[in-house]
Structure 1
Amino acid sequence: MPAVSIGLFVLVLLLAVVAPFVLYYFVRAEQTQRATMDREAAEQAARQDLQDRDER
């Protein structure tokens, strides 16, 4: 029975250490796929969004 408790403790400890790194990796991967715009393109996109909202 103590071996099961130790095994469970090691598993939880491993998850507690690994999980933040996995989340960090996914956040960084998402950031590199982000599209960027110059100011003029961003203004046009914002205006288009406003026009789409007004048409509804």
Structure 2
Amino acid sequence: MVASVIAVLLVVMIGLALPLALYRFVRAEHDKRETMTRDDAERAARRDTHEKR
């Protein structure tokens, strides 16, 4: 009986911890993003293509 209660508590704790950890990692990545002007973004997008116009 005690083992099953511990197992359920462990599953609940892991179920709560993983989404919170994922949220923290996503927020940390969000804070490191680079911002650029529209002109810089258009220039970078054009460099990504291999098509010739």
TM-score by length of 2: 0.82
Once superposed, what is the RMSD of the aligned Cα atoms? 1.4
Q: Which has the higher helix share?
A: 1
Structure 1 moving runs of 4+ over 6 Å: none
**Structure 1 residues not aligned, in runs of 5+:** none
Matched pairs, number: 52
TM-score by length of 1: 0.79
**Structure 2 residues not aligned, in runs of 5+:** none
Quote the residue 1:33 is aligned against. 32
- Deviation at residue 54 of structure 1 after TM alignment: 3.1
Other structure's SS at 1:13 match: helix
Identity of aligned residues (%): 40
